[in-house]
Structure 1
Amino acid sequence: MESLEALVAHIQGLSGSPEEVAHLHSLLKQADGDSLRAHAAALVPFLAHLSPGAHSLGYLYLLEACATSGANLRDFGGGDFLVTMADFLTACSSDQIRLAPDKFLNVCKVLKDQVMQINRPIRGIAPLRAAVRKIQASPEQLTPVHADYLLLCLLAKQYKAGLSVLEDDIFEVDQPKDLFLYCYYGGMIYIGLKKFPKALELLHNAVTAPMSSLNAIAVEAYKKYILVSLIQNGQVPSFPKYTSATAQRNLRNHAQIYVDLCTSYGNGRYSDLEIFIESNAAVFQSDNNLGLVKQVLSSMYKRNIQRLTQTYLTLSLEDIARSVQLETPRDAEMHVLRMIEDGEIHATINQKDGMVSFHEDPEQYKSVEMVEHIDSSIQRLTALSKKLASIDENMTCDPAYLLKTGRDRGRFDYEDFDTVPHKYF
């Protein structure tokens, strides 16, 4: 290998035009390997002579050699080296780092591991958010950095920060694990924000994604999917037809206690559900789901009050309290008021006689705001339909897909196997 001084000189002199960068890349590939990592401690001072933005490719090779050398990062300055990695991820050139994506991902992973090790996940949020945008070929692409970024947002309880990547429409996935983790962590972030419909979307995707064998991420996602479904809708829907046979056969067996919880919830008796939760609290706690389970218990009051609106036009607060097993009419009044504020029921309370009158939904769907909302939804669905048609056309022309369907059609019925090639999910 050339001397480190000569290598740094090449980096400084060949980081201009695309042709120079391509030549530099070939030189860096020759110098890369165990020999470069063996000099990891000596590389750190040379980083000060390079610019993360102007010399991104060479900087990346040296930085990755240090980060993955196996040495204790405190040997490189500890917190200072962490700052060096963070500054690089923020300032580097997208065009240059995409020439060595594996090395860039290695640096991102080391940064994530380090901030978790020192129990300061918040320090990794801004650098990894920048890294997501740097490594993405388009906003529709899912990268391994997405899951790491969402994990740090969860650990730091910075849920709103996670929305910066969760609000993108994802259509391109390289590795199945990235998709499962993205959906699982994203679902947890929306749970933290109390945005249960969005959480259900992502958890649903994790549960129904194509899989040839069951994985632990899908199992944990299914447990939370059951709980959030009960909180939001009061019931858990059946698996849709496109769910893999593996998931349909095995998920319920690995989440039996949650299935039993769903059954108890469906009976509508608060006291029975409370007893069931108390007797299985240790299991829910070990799954880190006890907080959600308690929300399921609280939601039963709401669900039972909603059932009353389907039967009665007027009802006293005392009768509501007795029907849904609340202790006092005052408790019933507070629950009804909260549901009215949240738009979950339409009702008025007569304070004089303590009577509640239930009404029909007053929304006439003709206000300016509602028309604009409907119009934007139609435009979004139209764009999504065109995108799916394009993906479908590309997939049906894919040689791997045609080979699989042609080979398997003779042995199985068309619906017996997953028709989506793994490279597309």
Structure 2
Amino acid sequence: MDPLEALVAQIQGLSSTSSDVNRLHSILKQADDSLRSESARLSPLLTQLDPSIHSLGFLYILEASMSGPTTKAQAETAVPIATRFMAACSDQIRLAPDKFLSLCRRLKEQVLMLDAPIRGVAPMFTGLRKLQVSAEHLTPIHSEFLLLCLLSKCYKTGLSILDDDVFEVDHPRDLFLYCYYGGMICIGQKRFQKALDLLHNVVTAPMSIINAIAVEAYKKYILVSLIRNGQFSTSLPKYSSSAAQRNLKNFCQPYVELANTYGNGKVAELETFVKTNAEKFQSDNNLGLVKQVVSSMYKRNIQRLTQTYLTLSLQDIANTVQLNSAKEAEMHVLQMIQDGEIYATINQKDGMVRFLEDPEQYKTCEMIEHIDSSIQRIMALSRKLTAMDEQISCDQLYLSKAGRERQRYDFDDFDVPQKFNI
């Protein structure tokens, strides 16, 4: 019998019980090299297998069939097979997470080859949920999924995993990419506070040396800080790595200078700086975000007017914040009202703007439910942190390291009287 046909027969016969599946896993690992050498012959074998029953064997054969160089025609055939497999496969795939991850990455490469990243979004989402042991587990597939969401502009789909609280990470790079791509998706949805939180996680994460992801995240972190808060501090928190505190600013000097120019509050100077450095911002794919920074200065200046005036004409607003016309001022005010950034009414007859107080009284049922859900989430987070603290306190590696550190600072040494010659 042909070795490949014999392997298919073993897959069909050893996919029912857990002991059989474990035995099959050993057979598949031994056959992996031969499968890759026969990658061109593997696709017809998949028709003899049921992806929901023979998931482990199907995974090995499918991954090997997609491992070699691929043409667009081959990708058109392979992508639908991989998509159906991810929808149908069982938890057998958790026995071979590296194989499943390799399959996901090959799927991503092939949908990009076909210039159709949206075709990989749904199967990648299904795949990451099946590989996860819990919603708190960050898999390497998360970043691949978010990248496809970015490239296909499926921002809302990407947001669906960004509200999960992550406590388990397999590799540091997974967290860097997850937060970086997640921050970009939130920027696309103008959820700037969430974007700021995710980018903050990248630039303050532990790192022994500066990496390219942290540098690109820091550039966007500066821009989003200006848009969201109207200011930026170059001092990172004390818990940031020393590598980040020493070097990030050096790699992002035009962005730091942009923040300093923004702090002066002069629109003309800011626009001049942006024009001078437009090529640099464009090469970083950040020019669109930089333009939002300029727009945010107009908004910030209009917000300051609400603290001083009760009514003001559109022309006066245009003159004060250095807009070109009353019509342009009206468009800014209308957009800010729509976004909830100010509370105001415009009298179209005389062109006057009346600034109002925040109408929220914090006593509606919806607001009470929102506050209650926030409190419940904080309590759940507190319980989780307490459990993690207890777990770390009992970890042998932690205790041995803490013991070694304690010996370096034996406080008995400081109890011995010292003699000084004066």
Per the normalisation by structure 1, the TM-score is: 0.91
Aligned to 1:184: 180
Q: Which moved more, 1:259-268 or 1:236-245?
A: 236-245
Aligned to 1:47: 46
1:374 aligns with 2:377: no
Aligned to 1:101: 97
Question: Aligned to 1:214, which of 201, 210, 217?
Answer: 210
Q: How does 1:9-408 map to 2 (within 5 A)?
A: 9-33=9-33, 35-68=34-67, 70-72=68-70, 77-94=74-91, 96-237=92-233, 238-351=235-348, 353-408=350-405
Task: Supply the AA of the counterpart residue of 2:395.
Answer: D
Aligned residue-pair number: 408
Provide the rounded CA distance (Å) in 1 between the counterparts of 2:132 and 2:196. 26
Task: Supply the AA of the counterpart residue of 1:335.
Answer: H
Q: Which moved more, 1:113-122 or 1:138-147?
A: 113-122
Provide the rounded CA distance (Å) in 1 between the counterparts of 2:41 and 2:326. 74
Aligned identity (percent) is: 64
> 3-state SS of the aligned residue for 1:32?
helix
Task: Supply the AA of the counterpart residue of 2:170.
Answer: D
Task: Supply the AA of the counterpart residue of 2:146.
Answer: L
The verdict on how the C-alpha distance between 1:411 and 1:187 changes in structure 2, with shifts beyond 3 A counting, is farther
Provide the rounded CA distance (Å) in 1 between the counterparts of 2:399 and 2:245. 26
Provide the rounded CA distance (Å) in 2 between the counterparts of 1:328 and 1:3. 78
| 2:138–2:166 Cα contact (<8 Å) kept | yes
Provide the rounded CA distance (Å) in 1 between the counterparts of 2:105 and 2:219. 28
The verdict on how the C-alpha distance between 1:8 and 1:326 changes in structure 2, with shifts beyond 3 A counting, is same
> 3-state SS of the aligned residue for 1:214?
coil
Q: CA deviation at 1:372?
A: 1.3
Task: Supply the AA of the counterpart residue of 1:290.
Answer: L
Task: Supply the AA of the counterpart residue of 1:291.
Answer: G
Provide the rounded CA distance (Å) in 1 between the counterparts of 2:169 and 2:248. 23
Q: CA deviation at 1:346?
A: 2.4
Q: CA deviation at 1:240?
A: 2.3
Offset from partner CA, 1:293-317 (integer Å, 9 cap, x none): 0111111110011122223344333
Offset from partner CA, 1:83-139 (integer Å, 9 cap, x none): 222221221112x11111111111111111111122111111111111101111111
| 2:75–2:114 Cα contact (<8 Å) kept | no
Aligned to 1:418: none
CA RMSD between the two structures: 2.0
- RCO greater where, 1 or 2, for CA within 8 Å and sep 6 or more? 1
| 1:230–1:236 Cα contact (<8 Å) kept | yes
Q: Which runs of 5+ in 1 are unaligned?
A: 413-425
Task: Supply the AA of the counterpart residue of 1:179.
Answer: L
Q: CA deviation at 1:268?
A: 1.0
Q: Which runs of 5+ in 2 are unaligned?
A: 410-422
Task: Supply the AA of the counterpart residue of 2:192.
Answer: F
The verdict on how the C-alpha distance between 1:341 and 1:82 changes in structure 2, with shifts beyond 3 A counting, is closer
| 1:302–1:339 Cα contact (<8 Å) kept | yes
Provide the rounded CA distance (Å) in 2 between the counterparts of 1:2 and 1:395. 53
Q: CA deviation at 1:407?
A: 3.7
Offset from partner CA, 1:334-388 (integer Å, 9 cap, x none): 3223222322122334455544343332322112211111111111111111111
Aligned to 2:6: 6
Provide the rounded CA distance (Å) in 1 between the counterparts of 2:130 and 2:29. 21
| 1:53–1:91 Cα contact (<8 Å) kept | yes
| 1:340–1:347 Cα contact (<8 Å) kept | yes
Task: Supply the AA of the counterpart residue of 1:219.
Answer: V
